[in-house]
Structure 1
């Protein structure tokens, strides 16, 4: 018999009696049979995945209800857009009935439905993917941007739809959008990006120079060179991806980035540099600039979904979820701390790998690279990501964006640091309860096995043996931050900033996208209505499901009791209450910041789920 109350008295293996150690070993042997490594998943290999999602890793009923409530208006919007909507109407009515019925059931009756929730959701997703590809009522020919706006018949049109063509909005995507982790400060221009002094001054004015701006740390760069694999393997001449380079500057006396120039590809001999144009004078130069920005937004859509979102949150945390269950006994304090931050992740990842990034799936439909190349790009980025280098403070420093004096307007950085520091204080206080000193860390043979598994089977680049409490705290902070705040920062902008296809999408559809002289030619770069409807429907779902929040630790079984049972953690004034109090303070701080800046709310603690469960 295993430990009946593993969370009541967590312990380190070296401190247990021989009999207790034997129980831990048997429990782990049992768990290892459920959480087996798989390096041959057809859509993400050789990225390590779980071979089969254990039943215990399925979502809770409450999660299912949350998803259903989000789906109802989206299906309603599909009904309004699809020509033959009879089947969709039936689905919509069915969703409403299920949602209302479940909400009125007694707890015992709800419990009886839990075993059916997973299969119901899987069937629903399959049906949704089939129906979203139906023929839409209206087409883009001659309708311009209004055709895309009209796809939001039953869902509020995102505010970005009316302003995405503006230069300041394009710049804000870099510091407060779905991918604010690429912009970097530079002290010299890349050799393959020869921005001229004359071109710079044409945008920034004659009272500023490129040399001066570089010396004063006012120049920033986006470089999408990692997308070259997609550039070389497009789905066709009218559906492709580019790997642009973009330059931004902070004007003298200002705080925010402004776009300066874009080169649509990596080779300076093949791609001319386009300089920013501010006012819409309907000139060829204006529409060429709009087309260049669209190329960057498509590149960013690919970089975000494949790298920043899928690879660097979902797939990284998959490895930690498997290793934790395989190597750390249920009574291990690190197991107790981390499991709530893995809730739903294996299920979601299995669904994404099996459908979203599969041949014929939404990524294949919406994005420009051939699906095999898209899968390879995502997998390569995940396997090449250095764990320690990507820790928030290290990443900000490497990209030269950590200094607020140089880049004052960077909402993601400012809010993310608050959450990172709160999590780090929480993990430090937590492990100090169980590890008396650094020697206790090195003597913890389960932790050693966990580390070795992550380095080997988990393929976490840069991971290394943990020898001190401080290092263990850093590692745990990174894991919790990635599974909660970082995922929130990249997931939830999908509904508000990415669901309107002309603002951000996955492919350029134009015949000659780098040679655009008119509005009509610019509009030809955008996706057809069907793919745009599929994009908005999918991203409204992914960006609309909020299940639990950071600092909330509950079991996954009804009646969803408090997770932590050790009084040393839960007592008033203890580590947990201090962590929760710090999150309340962060919420207040961010709300105050939003009174004097353009709102950035993706890292409000109340909007950060504790795990990757969508």
Structure 2
């Protein structure tokens, strides 16, 4: 058994290159090692701890346990940078096309010169990136590790090339900000309309929701197949502050009875009361608004899909009346405004609680604890570390550019940046590790019974992926832990669990005393970093890029009656055109980068060797092969399901699930 889990590569000229970190050849548990080997383990962990340190003092997320910095092992691969720049340059192309299109009042000569200069700069960057991509031909052409070395791209060259790509990415970001500032200056001359919002997709295809978002069934479907399937909850009685009448219910669900539906378990609620911490902000002298609505849905008798029943635009029923679906001219625009209010709240809940807090920040805490407490020859180190690839880097970038003062969250979300940050902090520190396990979460929210809620694509596909990961974790752990006593005897595992709970401030995390519990824990970690993040990240491009459908802030106060509104008032709730383009661009980037699918375990530096080296794992009939075969079977089942679904749900197809939270 060796304590070296990295491979030294020697180029043809005899130069020794940087080592490539990999899983151990012969992983071991500390209790099975000699005294000398345990000392070596402790020395290696102590050295790693110097590179991975905790802080709760990051100003953007005060109180959240994060890494103090991003060690070199956690920086992205060159492949990832090529993906990001490809998307970033496409975004610049689209923004320039928008600015040169007559949907704007027209740019003055100075602005046109800036746009022209930006276009030239972007073209020069594109040419430079293409040259590097050609140099690293194995990235595009799929050559294996040996072919990569034969092509003359030694690992030693990658640092400088990655630095160049990172510099280009910074320049693309700067160009983007300059172009958005031009739009802000033209804002007063821009007339908002649904057509104008659609026209912001000049060189990109507008998502389907840009044409269907007003449909009530589409509105209901988003609760179970949209960016945020994590809030809808089955209820047996209405909240006291949401007095939907039997008549209102019957009007929305013809032929049904409210009390019977409640008794049957067919009534569901989205309650956004947790957004009460948000404080409405201001953008360029214009007031923004945040909302805490309540939305009721139901499955009709014998039906399968949710139907919208009622919306209350605030928590106080004496101030905000119950609004219901209607086609009556005097009431229909009030209903459209109410749906928009819900979508603004859903966007905030999704981004702050579900996406940032529930995936990115949860994975970071476990990543840091893993590095600080498990030796790199521990079997769980090999199992888990690939699922943290790029996470510390992307989180650090988000803190600096996304949820910071002046960043996108500050601009197109309704809350002040401080209150948005504190909402994310609350979401992270209240995240209960065991409660959020998929089977537990479904039961807790009373949405696990397919006979009550037949059409819930996230639930059904998530359980398939969860079970495949669970089988992989179980087979893997059984190889290294002979019984439950081996689990309780593992001193590194005990320290790791304590660190996640105490230093990582992970609510509900507890000591691990059995193999079954350890399997559940590892399944949750892998699922959160991969599938859960995919399910809440990639809908951003398909659903959230079109601001009239969903956006982060309102631009008028929540309505206090359903009648008396018109179309222009409804459009007035939507963001300024420059902010909708900022939203579109930001979420296209976040929702377009697919890097390294689940089950593909490789190192993150050329020559991209296989991560696992233990023959017990990598054998033809071993756990890894079975996991990969299981994922292919899940893929086939989801594809078959999507052929039967009225609306395909693709976010949890394993081929579209990255291994880690890396964007």
TM-score normalised by L of structure 1: 0.96
Residues 118-158 of structure 1: CA deviation (Å, up to 9, x unaligned) = 54266246415523522237878555201101111111111
Selected match of 2:601 from 549, 553, 561: 553
- What does residue 613 of structure 1 align with? 662
Q: 1:122 to 1:40 in 2, by over 3 A?
A: farther
Residues 549-586 of structure 1: CA deviation (Å, up to 9, x unaligned) = 00000011211010000000000111000000000001
Selected match of 2:582 from 527, 530, 534: 534
User: Partners in 2 of 1:566 and 1:583 — Cα distance?
Assistant: 21
User: Partners in 1 of 2:487 and 2:172 — Cα distance?
Assistant: 44
Q: 1:318 to 1:360 in 2, by over 3 A?
A: same
8 Å Cα contact 2:280/2:288 also seen in 1: no
- What does residue 63 of structure 2 align with? 46
1:564 aligns with 2:621: no
Selected match of 1:184 from 211, 230, 233: 233
Q: 1:235 to 1:323 in 2, by over 3 A?
A: same
Moved over 6 A (4+): 137-140
- What does residue 102 of structure 2 align with? none
* More displaced 10-residue stretch of structure 1: 104-113 or 28-37: 104-113
8 Å Cα contact 1:140/1:529 also seen in 2: no
1:72 offset after TM fit, Å? 2.2
Residues 339-367 of structure 1: CA deviation (Å, up to 9, x unaligned) = 10000000000000111000111100010
Selected match of 1:59 from 76, 87, 104: 76
- What does residue 13 of structure 2 align with? none
Q: 1:604 to 1:310 in 2, by over 3 A?
A: same
Residues 506-535 of structure 1: CA deviation (Å, up to 9, x unaligned) = 000125655561001000000001100000
* More displaced 10-residue stretch of structure 1: 66-75 or 428-437: 66-75
User: Partners in 2 of 1:588 and 1:208 — Cα distance?
Assistant: 37
Selected match of 1:324 from 366, 370, 384: 370
8 Å Cα contact 2:96/2:179 also seen in 1: no
Selected match of 2:568 from 520, 530, 536: 520
1:113 offset after TM fit, Å? 4.0
- What does residue 162 of structure 2 align with? 117
- What does residue 399 of structure 2 align with? 353
1:19 offset after TM fit, Å? 1.4
User: Partners in 2 of 1:322 and 1:178 — Cα distance?
Assistant: 27
Determine helix, strand or coil for the equivalent of 2:621.
coil
Selected match of 2:637 from 585, 589, 595: 589
User: Partners in 1 of 2:365 and 2:172 — Cα distance?
Assistant: 25
Residues 401-423 of structure 1: CA deviation (Å, up to 9, x unaligned) = 00011110000000000000000
Superposed, 1:238-387 pairs within 5 Å as 238-277=287-326, 279=327, 283-387=329-433
Superposed, 1:25-44 pairs within 5 Å as 25-44=42-61
Superposed, 1:30-179 pairs within 5 Å as 30-82=47-99, 83=107, 84=111, 85-106=115-136, 107=148, 108-109=152-153, 111=155, 112-118=157-163, 119-120=166-167, 123-124=170-171, 126-128=173-175, 130-136=177-183, 142=191, 144-179=193-228
- What does residue 3 of structure 1 align with? 4
User: Partners in 2 of 1:57 and 1:356 — Cα distance?
Assistant: 20
Aligned length: 609
Residues 365-411 of structure 1: CA deviation (Å, up to 9, x unaligned) = 01001111110010011101111011100000010000011110000
User: Partners in 1 of 2:85 and 2:30 — Cα distance?
Assistant: 42
1:509 aligns with 2:526: no
Superposed, 1:479-498 pairs within 5 Å as 479-498=525-544
* More displaced 10-residue stretch of structure 1: 571-580 or 508-517: 508-517
User: Partners in 2 of 1:122 and 1:19 — Cα distance?
Assistant: 47
Q: 1:385 to 1:143 in 2, by over 3 A?
A: closer
Q: 1:478 to 1:128 in 2, by over 3 A?
A: farther
Determine helix, strand or coil for the equivalent of 1:199.
helix
Superposed, 1:437-476 pairs within 5 Å as 437-476=483-522
User: Partners in 2 of 1:8 and 1:32 — Cα distance?
Assistant: 23
8 Å Cα contact 1:513/1:522 also seen in 2: no
Determine helix, strand or coil for the equivalent of 2:554.
coil
Determine helix, strand or coil for the equivalent of 2:500.
helix
Structure 2 unpaired stretches of 5+? 7-22, 100-106, 137-147
8 Å Cα contact 1:140/1:147 also seen in 2: no
Structure 1 unpaired stretches of 5+? none
Aligned-residue RMSD, C-alpha: 1.7
1:548 offset after TM fit, Å? 0.6
8 Å Cα contact 1:140/1:528 also seen in 2: no
- What does residue 227 of structure 1 align with? 275
Residues 159-213 of structure 1: CA deviation (Å, up to 9, x unaligned) = 10001000000001000000011111111000110001111122222x2211111
8 Å Cα contact 1:61/1:110 also seen in 2: no
